[in-house]
Amino acid sequence: MKKLALIIAAMMTVAFVAPAFAADNLSLSGSFQVRGWDVNAEDAADDASYFDQRMRVQAKITASDNAYVVIRADMGDAQWGSATGFNGVIQRPGRTTNSEQIDFDRLYGHFEQDNWALTIGQQYLGLGILEVLDANMVAAKVRLKFGAIEPSLIYGKISENGSTNDDGAFDDSDLYAINVSFDVAGFDSNVFYAMADDDGAADTTAWALGFHTAGKLGMVGLVAELSFLGGDAAANVDYEGTQFYLKADSDLNDALNVGAEFLWAAGENEADEQQLTNLADFGDFTIADTNAPCATDVVVVGTNGPFDFTDDNAGVVGASLFGSYKVSADLSFGGKFAYLTPEEDAATDVDSLMSTTVWAGYNLGSNTSLVLLYNIANAEFDTGAADEDVKTLYARFLISF
């Protein structure tokens, strides 16, 4: 803990003298945020009202023209009143509580040459729309630069499974991936394959193969992705997954942007099959507030994400409409409506989910903003459970630097 405190103290000290060092080999960036939620549901057990906060600092240390190191840490990432260390007494937080928790989520080195680049250490890895793979992990990534085509080869360590002895049940769990980036008629495109292989006691394998592309067709911006997933979930149970996403949006003028999304995923209703939507996912694709300035903070779908929004292996057929209007350089408004229904009706009791969101964003000053958002999510059921409305009021105060 003393070493950890010294590292953070050094980072904070540098923050005050950054102007003297930034021109040489150090740059700092990050943000401080406070967020609040007030959730009102027909099922009182789902009601909630709380705040949280987080301080994030990233330091990039340039060692040479070819190499740099990145350190990123989240500090005091905690819910007010339950994880802030005061324990019901207004006093200085205790020394062993979550109030002084420090989470290093990025610690990696990067080296680059004319034809290749290596990123090694604890880093972020993402594929496609960040639904198939969306993870922080210890890994090595080599990007080869062949002009118009750039393959990236990835190896990541998921777990040692309890021992560095790799025999039998102690064999490791690893990630292997390749992503090939290329340009097609002005569209940034990627073909990717990834496999999470656990050779330990669990003896499971999950893989994903996909194509992702994004670009502009005239005044319309397009994003599309088709992914296939599979593997062995457990004895006599197989992973299955096919999913498609399409998004189109356009700036009708300098102030108004409108767009739509379509998503589809096959469901499964066989005892020996389980729908797979991703290999690792932070939950960054929530459908409710995607395209809003506070995307990912209001979740209306299940833990498996929008492609299995019921968490019942039922897949999805869904669409959304969204838009935003910039009143001025500092003030903007927006909204989104999404409708999701299961692709495999027999797998779930959920008939449909509707999500309606309105939001407003205001720049209080340079690099300082406030967002207010209101969402109504309505789930309808075929039989059994009563339909339920969940109403969420959300606010975020953010300072970026």
- Give the per-residue pLDDT at 384: 67
Locate 79 and state its tokens: 């819910």
339 within some domain: no
Cα distances (Å, whole numbers) of residue 76 to 80, 93, 398: 10, 11, 15
Mean model confidence pLDDT for the chain? 88
Determine, yes or no, domain membership for 2.
Answer: yes
When pLDDT is averaged across residues 320-328 and rounded to a whole number, the result is: 97
Q: Residue 86 has what pLDDT?
A: 59
Range of the domain at 16: 1-26
Q: Take residue 81 and report the two structure tokens written for it.
A: 């009143």
| Within-domain flag for 232 | no
Looking at the domain assignment, is residue 138 inside a domain?
A: no
Give the total number of structural domains in the chain.
1
Q: For residues 345 and 306, what is the distance between their CA atoms, to the nearest angstrom?
A: 16
For 144-157, how does the pLDDT look when each residue is reduced to its tens digit (9 = 90+)? 999 899 999 999 99
180 vs 153: CA distance, rounded Å: 9
Q: Comparing 386 with 392, which gets the higher pLDDT?
A: 392
pLDDT band of residue 12 (cuts 50, 70, 90) is low
The reported pLDDT for the residue numbered 84 is: 65
CB 293 within 8 A of CB 359: yes
What is the percent of the chain where pLDDT is above 70?
89
Checking if the pLDDT of 242 tops 60, the result is yes
Cβ neighbourhood burial of 38 (10 Å; 0-12, 13-18, 19+): middle
Question: Residue written as tokens 């099959």?
Answer: 273
Domain contains 20: yes
- CA 336/CA 359 separation, integer angstroms: 9
**318 pLDDT higher than 50:** yes
367 pLDDT higher than 80: yes
Q: From CA 298, how far away is CA 356, in angstroms rounded?
A: 11
In-domain check, residue 246: no
Secondary structure of 38-105 in the HEC alphabet?
EEEECCHHHCEEEEEEEEEEEEEEECCCCEEEEEEEEEEEEECCCCCCCCCCCCCCCCCCHHHCEEEE
- What's the pTM value of the predicted model, to 2 decimals? 0.87
Least confident of 5-19, 70-84, 210-224, 383-397: 5-19
pLDDT at 51 exceeding the cut of 80: yes
Does residue 3 lie within any of the structural domains?
yes
pLDDT given at position 129: 81
Report pLDDT digits (tens) over 59-105: 999 999 999 999 999 998 888 887 666 555 555 555 445 555 788 99
Pairing of strands 331-341, 316-326: antiparallel
Mean pLDDT, residues 371-383 taken together: 93
pLDDT band of 390, cuts 50, 70, 90: very high
Q: Which whole number is the average pLDDT over 122-129?
A: 91
Q: What's the mean pLDDT in 350-371?
A: 96
For residue 5, is it within any domain? yes
Contact 214/188 with Cβ under 8 angstroms?
yes
Structure tokens at 20: 């003297």
**pLDDT tens per residue, range 2-11:** 444 444 555 5
